[in-house]
């Protein structure tokens, strides 16, 4: 599997503060809740979030932005560096834009915005031009704060448009995309504000609006994102065709940051050579899972490889960096037999990598009784890794793999066909991030227990 190709993000970085607290009473002087602060998390926002999410996919990322020298700007720089983002700073004359979210029990109560007014962005630098020149794809994450409107930045982007794919995520306060952009990604409200005709928000009307915007912006394709409904693509790159890409339903979740998740995965997929339709499918799926997992406030930012405790972290980063599908299955696998092998081969065929969650010796003993396992966990893991269909093995000590699945968050969880999905203790947790359960055929008459009995009887 080849390494993910480098991505350059150009745009306005913001500082996000998530203030979590408890509400137990109303204020005595007004009918408003009193929030007792329990914790504060500082993270990159805007283009900074898009860059950090791409890094978390395992991709080399450079962010061309403008940072102020105030206290919030220093916090933002530190947050970006901790997330593994390489920074090219054009310098911001003014105050750092901040978004402060006050939440309780994971629900937002209030958002306070401050700073970022009357700012001046410095000109394009040699370091920024060099970064753009080495990119496999560019993402312009415009938050209307001046980076995408800077004349020298626009000049460099216009030159790059003929060389590498550019994804342009526009903003109502920002400029129009430069000509030649591969894909522009307005949301439905933004697209309707710029191109109100035709009326309606059905797929046909959205596609007509997207095609009109593609002509207006001289873009190859326009992809209108429609929240929980998915996305619609149209434009010269599709000829007379249009494409609607639906999203899987999500119960609950948090949409904060979903647009940055969509745009960063889309740009990464184009960098890796996927066509427009396939790249959008990967982006819709990534954004759906991101929302289901709790959005930006729950996102784990930073390089997956850093401080990795297991090679599986690097494997998942590589696969997800390419927009691939992670498949996992689990079991004791005590004395490997043809039934196991067929299940593993069928599971691997459902995605781009297969991780086996292997019960530890202690876990097997609790489940199967004294005398089991016959083969120790290290030997069982070694035999499994030797199979061509298995990419990695992770041992867990609990009775169920739920905690490990929370860490791995596979797209597909596979079990043998002798189970019913509703009977699996891990079904609910897998559904929580938008994953699905797949049952594969079970080979009758093959089991470790049966083999052990046969061997024991033969010895007697």
Q: Which of 17-26, 51-60, 232-241, 367-376 has the lowest mean pLDDT?
A: 232-241
| Domains of the chain, earliest start first | 7-181+247-298 (3.40.1190.20), 325-459 (3.40.50.620)
Residue range 209-223: average pLDDT?
Answer: 94
What confidence category does residue 418 fall into, taking pLDDT thresholds of 50, 70 and 90? Answer: low
At 14 the pLDDT is 96
At 310 the pLDDT is 61
Q: pLDDT digits over 148-164, tens only?
A: 999 999 999 999 999 99
What confidence category does residue 453 fall into, taking pLDDT thresholds of 50, 70 and 90? Answer: low
**Comparison of pLDDT for 389 and 433, the residue scoring more:** 389
Q: pLDDT digits over 263-307, tens only?
A: 999 999 999 888 888 899 989 988 988 888 788 887 777 655 333
Is there a contact between 241 and 224 (Cβ–Cβ < 8 Å)? no
Looking at the annotation, which residues are catalytic?
Answer: 260
At 277 the pLDDT is 87
Task: Identify the CA nearest to 413 among candidates 342, 333, 325, 337.
Answer: 325
Phi, psi of 217 (to 5 degrees): -90, 0
| Pairing label, strands 137-141, 86-89 | unpaired
What confidence category does residue 345 fall into, taking pLDDT thresholds of 50, 70 and 90? Answer: very high
Residue range 226-242: average pLDDT?
Answer: 81
Eight-class DSSP state of 309: S
What stretches of 105-196 show up as alpha helix (H) in DSSP?
A: 126-134, 151-160, 188-194
Determine which helix (DSSP H) or strand (DSSP E) holds 112, and give its type and residue range: strand 107-114
Q: Tell me: pLDDT of 309 over 90.
A: no
Distance, in Å, from the CA atom of 263 to the CA atom of 284, rounded to the nearest integer, reads: 9
Q: Tell me: pLDDT of 456 over 70.
A: no
What stretches of 172-257 show up as alpha helix (H) in DSSP?
A: 188-194, 203-217
**Comparison of pLDDT for 96 and 303, the residue scoring more:** 96
Q: Tell me: pLDDT of 252 over 70.
A: yes
Q: Tell me: pLDDT of 235 over 60.
A: yes
Distance, in Å, from the CA atom of 70 to the CA atom of 28, rounded to the nearest integer, reads: 36
Eight-class DSSP state of 326: E
Is there a contact between 254 and 298 (Cβ–Cβ < 8 Å)? yes
Q: Please give the C-alpha separations between residue 233 and each of 188, 340, 376, in angstroms, as whole numbers.
A: 12, 42, 52
Residue 23, burial from CB neighbour count under 10 angstroms (0-12, 13-18, 19+): middle
Across 122-140, b (16+ Cβ under 10 Å) vs e yields bebbeebbebbeebbbbbb
Q: Tell me: pLDDT of 1 over 50.
A: no
Q: pLDDT digits over 438-448, tens only?
A: 988 765 545 55
Residue range 316-331: average pLDDT?
Answer: 86
**Comparison of pLDDT for 90 and 432, the residue scoring more:** 90
Tell whether pTM > 0.85: no
At 460 the pLDDT is 45
At 290 the pLDDT is 86
Residue range 356-383: average pLDDT?
Answer: 86
For 171, residues 6+ apart whose C-beta sits below 8 A from its C-beta are: 142, 143, 144, 148, 190
At 239 the pLDDT is 61
Residue range 214-228: average pLDDT?
Answer: 94
For 116, residues 6+ apart whose C-beta sits below 8 A from its C-beta are: 14, 94, 95, 96, 97, 98, 145
């Amino acid at each position: 599997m080849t390494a993910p190709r480098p991505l350059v993000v150009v745009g306005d970085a913001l500082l996000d503060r998530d203030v979590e607290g408890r509400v137990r009473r109303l204020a005595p002087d007004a009918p408003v809740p009193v929030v007792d602060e329990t914790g504060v998390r500082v993270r990159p926002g805007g283009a900074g979030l898009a860059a950090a999410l791409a890094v978390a996919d395992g991709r080399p990322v450079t962010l061309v932005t403008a940072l102020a020298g105030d206290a919030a700007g220093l916090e933002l720089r530190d947050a970006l560096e901790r997330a593994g983002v390489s920074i090219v700073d054009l310098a911001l004359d003014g105050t750092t834009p901040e978004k402060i979210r006050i939440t309780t029990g994971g629900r937002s109560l209030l958002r306070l915005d401050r700073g970022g007014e009357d700012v001046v962005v410095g000109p394009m630098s040699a370091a920024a031009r060099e970064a753009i020149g080495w990119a496999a794809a560019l993402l312009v994450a415009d938050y209307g704060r001046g980076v995408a409107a800077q004349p020298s930045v626009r000049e460099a982007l216009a030159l790059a448009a003929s060389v590498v794919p550019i994804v342009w995520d526009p903003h109502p306060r920002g400029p129009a995309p430069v000509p030649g952009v591969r894909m522009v990604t307005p949301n439905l409200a933004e697209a309707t504000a710029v191109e109100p005709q035709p009326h309606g928000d059905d797929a046909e009307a959205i596609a007509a609006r997207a095609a009109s915007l593609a002509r207006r912006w001289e873009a190859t394709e326009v992809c209108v994102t429609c929240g929980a409904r998915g996305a619609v693509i149209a434009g010269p790159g599709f000829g007379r065709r249009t494409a609607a890409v639906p999203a899987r339903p999500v119960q609950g979740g948090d949409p904060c940051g979903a647009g940055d998740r969509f745009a960063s995965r889309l740009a990464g997929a184009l960098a890796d050579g996927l066509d427009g339709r396939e790249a959008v499918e990967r982006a819709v799926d990534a954004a759906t899972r991101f929302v289901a997992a709790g959005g930006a406030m729950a996102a784990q930012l930073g390089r997956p490889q850093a401080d990795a405790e297991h090679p599986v972290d690097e494997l998942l980063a590589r696969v997800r960096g390419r927009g691939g599908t992670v498949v996992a299955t689990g079991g004791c696998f005590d004395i490997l037999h043809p039934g196991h092998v067929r299940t593993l081969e069928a599971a691997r065929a459902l995605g781009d990598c297969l991780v086996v969650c292997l019960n530890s010796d202690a876990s097997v003993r609790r489940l199967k009784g004294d005398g089991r396992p016959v083969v120790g966990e290290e030997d069982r893991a070694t035999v499994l890794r030797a199979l061509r269909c298995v990419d990695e093995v992770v041992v867990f000590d609990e009775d169920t793999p739920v905690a490990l699945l929370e860490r791995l968050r596979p797209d597909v969880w596979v079990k043998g066909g002798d189970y019913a999905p509703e009977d699996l203790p891990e079904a609910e947790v897998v559904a929580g991030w938008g994953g699905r359960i797949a049952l594969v055929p079970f080979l009758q008459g093959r089991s470790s227990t049966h083999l052990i009995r046969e061997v024991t009887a033969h010895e007697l």
